[in-house]
Structure 1
Amino acid sequence: MSVVMRSLRSRAAVAGGCVAALGLGFALAAGSPASAAAQTDPNGRYTAEEIHHFLEGFYGNHGPRAWEREHLVSDQLKEQAAQTPDFDLLLCAQNQPRDIEVGEVTTAQSARVGWATITTRWGQAPKTRTFTAYVDLDGSRPLQLLKVDCEPGD
């Protein structure tokens, strides 16, 4: 991917994240399940495309900011993250990556969860790390990160 395309993609992801955060903020402020579910599938679940967009906005280029950590993470995951003060559970790392890429989203309708592999890049070398991020599919609630699995999948 060219530097220009990467720059455009990065800017689009940041802009998309801001728009997503703004939209989620309105949904939270309105308190209306219908407003949160406006773009869901006919069964009231978020789509793979919506989850991908959410994860790109959540992780951005270098990881979630304080606002995302406070408002877009489940209470259970916040508690787990608080138990690892020397390790950023949401990034499966101890520091900030150089770049983050969200992979293809898979949804399990019966489990009401969607997930994607998140790839982080570090330093100048092509060193990467992957982990899996899970999101609730229930379109009656605002999107939020439910779980992060730091063990790389096979």
Structure 2
Amino acid sequence: MEKIIEKLKDEARRSWRGPKGEDRAKDLEKYLRIKLEEYSSALDTSQEEILERWEELRSYSAINYYQEANQPKLDSDKVKVFETKTDILMWAAGKKFSCPKCSGHSNNPIKCDRPNCDWKAHGLFKTLGEGIYVFSKAEMAGQDIFAPVESVSAK
């Protein structure tokens, strides 16, 4: 795990010359240590296993990947943790989801299926802060989806 963290710090240093690069490396290490402890405790999984999985999933710079939007707090009311991806699909089956753009009810939790709306939960603005993050322990990964209508109605 320490080798991976050092590699990531080196990547952060190379992203900006001089003291700014070193600051980025320190900030990245601090973030990783906090997140790995949090996820390890919540998921009863080793920090090394979590970091290795995150690195498998990462397809862009460490500085942009390792941030709260991609590793949200698992104890938040906007995060639902499931054992498997199948459990997520079973939970979502038959639900309606609230699109943050058109305020309509979509059958699809990721792409609005209402006429004249093509909003996607994985786009640049994601769910405009109105969705939830579903996380699968087995895959050690999650994604933003539109909020289920019943949770929006309960507010």
Structure with higher RCO (Cα < 8 A, 6+ apart): 1
Q: Please give the range of the TM-score, normalised by the shorter of the 2 chains.
A: under 0.3
TM-score in terms of structure 1 length: 0.28
Higher helix share: 2
TM-score in terms of structure 2 length: 0.28
State the structure with more CA Rg: 2
